[in-house]
Amino acid sequence: MSNLLDPTEEKRLLRSMLRIRRAEEIIAHHYKTEQQMRTPTHFGIGQEAVAVGVCGALQQDDVIFSHHRCHTHYLAKGGDLAGLVAELYGRATGCSGGRGGSVHLADRKVGVVATSAILGETVPVAVGSALAFKMDGGKRVAVTFFGDAVFEEGVIYESLNYAAVNGLPVLFCCENNLYSTETPLSLRRKSGSEFIDRVRSFGVPGEVIDGNDVGVVREAVANAVARLRRGEGPAYIECLTYRWREHVGPLFDYEANRTYRTRDELEDWMRRDPLAVSKKRLMNASALGDAEYEAWLADIDAEVASAIEAAKAAPWPEVRLILEGVL
């Protein structure tokens, strides 16, 4: 598979990854130093290529469902940055009215239907959306993002089977970052037992790809989505990637003296930084220069600073609305 995109397209994807990276880094700094955001945060720093590559192959009216590490997907699909920041500060202008926090982001206008911290919760919901799309006779598709630990939940197998039997337009996207909280994959899966073999046993085609290369992700998902739009049933993409920060919170694990993974392992994955991979490719093709990249960085930092300032000035949610939207 080629990872060479049209330079204009790759620049768009790189800028999107940079925007997500800087937003999360700045939010993490404020989270740690201010203690004003009263919501657990699961940062996706290091995994940006998955969100941007997948969403870059979708249309605005396609829908996504995500998990607890959802900031990346929300922003990649077009979610409002100011709405995200205000949500983390618990303000009424947040994308979920200030009541959902970091793990319950939504923006129906751009197809971000729901995110949830409950393991595997949104997988069957995405399958339900895909069923509705098929019944409507349109070409829309649904994507469900989940981590490798979801393969330890029964709901993934029921969802794969139902989607396959009914030929539904849903993409199952696994972000395999090797850890379930602090438990490595090697302690949770017998050697030689691959997730993709389980998926294929249901008749769902798929592939395992480099999740740190946005070009690879973009191309693989574009091919899978084309299959979905042709009405050929569900597909599976497993993206190998790695989160840089702790499972929940703004720190690096070594800052908290955690030992479930080594600093050497982290630094090895940081050398495979998805932003660096894409930036190098564009610079080698003379399609991007340092000045343009620095201008992007300045614009993005200003946007994030403005969002934080606006969030802090926004009102708190009204108590009388506390049950609005609750089912």
Could you read off the pLDDT tens digit of each residue along the chain, which spans 327 residues? Answer: 445 689 999 999 999 999 999 999 999 999 999 999 999 999 999 999 999 999 999 999 999 999 999 999 999 999 999 999 999 999 999 999 999 999 999 999 999 999 999 999 999 999 999 999 999 999 999 999 999 999 999 999 999 999 999 999 999 999 999 999 999 999 999 999 999 999 999 999 999 999 999 999 999 999 999 999 999 999 999 999 999 999 999 999 999 999 999 999 999 999 999 999 999 999 999 999 999 999 999 999 999 999 999 999 999 999 998 888 776
Name 278's Cβ contacts closer than 8 Å, sequence gap at least 6. Answer: 10, 13, 14, 17, 49, 213, 214, 215
Asked if 289 and 276 touch (Cβ cutoff 8 Å), the reply is no
Helices vs. strands in the chain: H and E counts, helices first? 11, 8
Q: pTM for this structure?
A: 0.96
CATH second-level architecture of 7-314? Answer: 3-Layer(aba) Sandwich (3.40)
Q: How far is CA 323 from the centre of its chain?
A: 28
